[in-house]
Amino acid sequence: MTDSSTALYCLIGDPVSGSISPNVHTAAYAAMGLNAVYLAFRVPSDALRAAVDGLRVLARGFNVTIPHKTRVALMVDELTHEASLTSAVNAVAVRDGYLVGHNTDALAASDLVDKLNARGGAATIVGAGGAAKSVAYALWRKGFSKVFVLDRNPDRAEALASGVKSVYGIDASAAPLSAGSLAEALARSNLLVNATPLGMYGGELDLPEEALGHDLAVMDLAYSPGGTGLVRRARALGLRTADGVEFLVIQAAYSIQFWVGAWPPLDVMMRAAEEVMAGAAREG
């Protein structure tokens, strides 16, 4: 039961209507015996500063999702090592009104690269926003030597590729996202990461099946009941995959550890996520 001492944690972004984060965090807090709640708030871009200022007073911590990760990095008082390198924040700790920005996406992506046994080599990142910046950090951490950045906005792709070169010293190139550019990049890659909402909020990654080689590992940061189209196709071909539900649960676990100083039960969190996704699939 909530009371005056209940801690508020939340998610801010636009959109947030399909997020399963409240279910995942609520399950973790219950298992850990925390007197806390987790809510999702839709915050449009023109209200972001007001929302962050309000949470500075009201919350103990909050997560940040699209499209605010880069802007929030400029609004906090301090950045962790990961957040500083990526210039993107997805988790903020509120400590007596002082905001510390962290990037738990980067840590989750690193863990999933390990799970996929995809260390080193070349990788293709689809997307060039805050999530893509986090993936670039993970690739650097895991010894990748080449990164292809593809985005519908060529300027954003070029900016991320330039950042990968200057910050991490990794050879990186950029191209506008198309079926042709994707196929060309994948022919030289051993890892594909979808760091866009494609497959989650409409649309799917346009991927020619012949581009999915049998030595390719696939990580999709988006999630959807039954799996995104990309993940379903990759699994049907027998490729190693990590999906957006795994990514969300792991970054949520790192967020909770950042906020309360204790590691939450991943099995409880994953079970909560799977129950929500299964229910959504039945309703769909």
| Catalytic site positions | 69
Q: Which residue has the tokens 């292809």?
A: 148
Question: Measured in whole angstroms, how far is the alpha carbon of residue 232 from the centre of its chain?
Answer: 19
116-to-37, 55, 98, 185, 236 alpha-carbon distances in Å? 33, 37, 37, 19, 16
Q: What is the DSSP string of the chain?
A: ---TTPEEEEEEES--TT--HHHHHHHHHHHHT--EEEEEEE--GGGHHHHHHHHHHH-SEEEE-TT-HHHHHTTSSEE-HHHHHHT--SEEEEETTEEEEE-HHHHHHHHHHHHTT--SEEEEEE--SHHHHHHHHHHHHTTEEEEEEEESSHHHHHHHHHHIIIII--EEEEEE--HHHHHHHHTT-SEEEE-SSTTTSS------GGG--TT-EEEE----TT--HHHHHHHHTT-EEE-HHHHHHHHHHHHHHHHHSS---HHHHHHHHHHHHHHHHHH-
